[in-house]
Amino acid sequence: MKFTSTIIGYPYIGENREWKKTVEAYWAKTLSEKQFEKSMKALRLANIQKQIDANVDVVTVGDFTFYDRVLDVAVMFGMVPKRFNWDGGTIHLETYYSIARGNEQALASEMTKWFNTNYHYIVPEYDGSNLRLYENIPLKAYIEARDELGILGKPTMIGPVTFYKLTKVMENINKQTYLFQLIDLYTQILNALVAEGVKWIQFEEPIFTTSISEKDMQQAKEVYKQLSKAVPQAQILLQTYFEAVEHYETVISLPVAGIGLDFVHGFQENITNLKRWGFPKEKILVAGVINGRNIWCTPLKRQFDFLTELKSLISSENLWIQPSCSLMHVPVTVASESKLSEEFKNNLAFADEKLQELNFLKNALREGSDYYKDIFKQNIDNIANLNHSRDRQLITVHEAIQQITEKDFSRKKPHKIRKELQQEILQLPLFPTTTIGSLPQTEEVKKTRAEMRKGKISREDYRTFIQSEIKKWIDYQEKLGLDVYVHGEFERTDMVEYFGEKLKGFAFTEKAWVVSYGSRCVKPPIIYGDVQWIEPMTIAETVYAQSLTTKPVKGMLTGPNTMLNWSFVRDDIPKKEVAYQIALAIRKEVQTLEREGIQIIQVDEPALREGLPLKVNKQTSYLEWAINAFKLATSEVADVTQIHTHMYYCEFNDFIEPIRALDTDVISIETSKSHGEIIEAFKNNDYENDIGLGVYDIHSPRIPQLNEMQAIIDESLKVLAIEQCWINPDCGLKTRKTAETLAALERMVDTAKIMRERYKQEVLNMIN
């Protein structure tokens, strides 16, 4: 068959978030395990049927999960950390979800970003145990699709090299022994699949698009050599995505039957390497030509022309086409959006629409472009109409960008002087306590907001309700004894969506959900035009909260890079320019808060590192403009105004210099699940600004123990000065229940009191 189509993966969330609802019902014990399994199977098969209906030639199976696909591989191999007291038998759902979410006895496994996306995976932990194959998930997926839908699918799983590189191997464990075990386990999986008659087996290896070393690539070569030797009949399709492969010649020499390359995000390098070094005639090339990470429609003629050019390099029998990565990073279907204009919708393509685009390109390649010239023309016109719209031609915005100078990127005085000035006003104790920003959003909060949006209650009634929630939580914070308060963000749905709704240049959807982590789903805004501040966005709630207390209340904003990286971004201008547009808008809000007497302003950037290119040689350029965007938003304030930020991820070790460059007065980080690695990052680094230690994991319902939090602080004080340390949860508390939040915060404040007493004498000695 000429020009075969396939996909790497499809969104498992469901058109109406059925997946999320099923998972959370099971957690709430309103759904039995049997009902849970039945609902999940129905959704899994429905997703496969979507591929069949869209005429995908090689249908992918095994891309479904109950929580996270990296966790699935770990559990499949019996990689259950000892703290979960697993008995070595069947791994039940309770254990599976405990690893992901923690329980009363054990901390959850670490969670971090999936490469440079907003998806979070559960980090596998290897402690030296003997591994074995407890369940062959790819085989089960293949058999289910065959028996239920009559198709011979392509099972997929995270590849051995990527899984090995993402695993946290405990100290004093022989990594080579672990790798040998993995090779054996993957061999068992391949043997079982081949025995069942599986034709194609997909291994996802995005690690090959990072700046992987030559030594690691040689190790990867040995892994695939061993697999090929053990199971020579296996037709492995090695999928890379998110960028161009780093060691092209080595990758194409691997003993696999096919290789997937990203010709969207890694276009220039991949095509250059392909033309320079060629491609093995005996292998299948799977070209990722449809953007799997953004929601804009594909420029069909451009991609058709590229594929036509590719035909001169690869025979049509050996050329497959697909999206650039799994479609899990985009929403399910534009068909669910009833409030967007037809003109705007014509420029959008979610997962289902990308399947249609894939089918269109395949048919055009098979039958010739003349049969489809009207569709090509309509696609070109749709894109041109959006590019030339007034929303993308705001002169005042473009002029403001041109007027930016170097002095816009720096505070007036160094941090040491600022801290003294701020402390004179704030009079904070040692180990000041605060929260990250959001507080529990109860069902009542969500219901009232929905009623306001549907017009069932007035905006004035809604405002009164929000004020009552703010007052309730200001009172809670007073009773708890926190030192710096927040208003709670009860008026906000999402930390990006809320601001985007109040800025020019953003569009919003009804059902365009994607998974961020676990069952946490987000509905990213679409940045389609020039971004501009219109009016104050946070003043009413923040000023009201401050009027209720003499303690400082933080103004809470989302940073420009997070708004950029957590949105679907226009692709007609460089991201740097979009980031600066957002930064100037946030700067206006910062200035407004300051004028209203707000002494502490937090501008969160949890996604700063997320935008970091996978290739080291591209990172400096990104960091330069991303850090400048943050500073553009925050540097205009007076020295006495304290700027905070928050970041949530676990790879700080190679990120100290960018953190220092931000020059925030306080940066809050996660220290609860990374088991000390982040603190190690500050060792031998002369970092002088203050740090908020995230001493407990908010993603778990368990209440932290005093000794756990004290241990984190004690470990931190090995590399940080006492006066640098703040104490806070590791992230916002929006998703937590009220009772568990109050209990956890009470213990956190008690921990701070214990630490103050413990170090009081030491501080007095320092003063004397």
Give the residue numbers of the binding site for L-homocysteine: 436-438, 489, 604
Give the residue numbers of the binding site: 17-20, 113, 118, 436-438, 489, 520-521, 566, 604, 610, 646, 670, 731
The answer to whether 673 touches 730, Cβ cutoff 8 Å, is yes
Sign of CA dihedral 296, 301, 306, 307: positive
Report which residue type is found at 480.
L
Q: Each residue of 381-414: b (16+ CB within 10 Å) or e?
A: ebbeebeeeeebebeebeebeeeeeeebbebeee
Helices then strands, each counted (H, E), the chain: 27, 23
| Pairwise CA distance, residues 435 & 732, whole Å | 7
Report which residue type is found at 605.
E
| Pairwise CA distance, residues 568 & 523, whole Å | 10
Among 233, 280, 289, CA closest to 259:
280
Whole-angstrom CA distances from 398 to 532, 586, 747 are 10, 16, 50
Bridge-based pairing of strands 154-158 and 168-169 is unpaired
User: How far is the first Cα of the chain from the last one, in angstroms, to the nearest whole number?
Assistant: 83
| Pairwise CA distance, residues 47 & 64, whole Å | 9
Among 265, 415, 675, 699, which one carries the catalytic annotation?
699
Give the residue numbers of the binding site for L-methionine: 436-438, 489, 604
Whole-angstrom CA distances from 39 to 144, 238, 517, 679 are 15, 31, 20, 43
Whether 247 is catalytic is no
Report which residue type is found at 745.
L
Answer left, alpha or beta for residue 496, where phi above 0 means left and psi between -120 and 50 means alpha: alpha
The answer to whether 524 touches 117, Cβ cutoff 8 Å, is no
3-state SS assignment for residue 94: helix
The answer to whether 664 touches 689, Cβ cutoff 8 Å, is yes
| Pairwise CA distance, residues 109 & 98, whole Å | 9
Bridge-based pairing of strands 503-507 and 319-323 is unpaired
For the record, the structure tokens of 291 come out as 């953007």
Residues 6+ apart with CB under 8 A from 409: 628, 631, 632, 635
Looking at residue 632, the DSSP 8-state letter turns out to be H
The answer to whether 99 touches 121, Cβ cutoff 8 Å, is no
Q: At what angle do helices 33-53 and 351-367 cross, to 10 degrees?
A: 30
Report which residue type is found at 365.
L
Looking at residue 108, the DSSP 8-state letter turns out to be P
Four-CA torsion 593, 597, 603, 604, nearest 10 degrees: -110
Cα of 488 vs its chain's centroid, Å: 23
The answer to whether 84 touches 95, Cβ cutoff 8 Å, is yes
3-state SS assignment for residue 521: strand
| Pairwise CA distance, residues 546 & 553, whole Å | 6
For the record, the structure tokens of 332 come out as 């399910």
Give the residue numbers of the binding site for Zn(2+): 646, 670, 731
| Pairwise CA distance, residues 264 & 293, whole Å | 10
Cα of 365 vs its chain's centroid, Å: 35
Beta pairing partners, 554? 600
The answer to whether 690 touches 666, Cβ cutoff 8 Å, is yes
**CB neighbour class for 562 (10 Å; exposed up to 12, middle 13-18, buried from 19):** buried
Specify the long-range contacts of residues 299-303, CB closer than 8 Å, at least 24 apart. Answer: 299/379, 299/380, 299/383, 300/357, 300/360, 300/361, 300/364, 300/375, 300/376, 300/379, 301/369, 301/376, 301/379, 301/380, 303/361
Residues acting as catalytic residues: 699
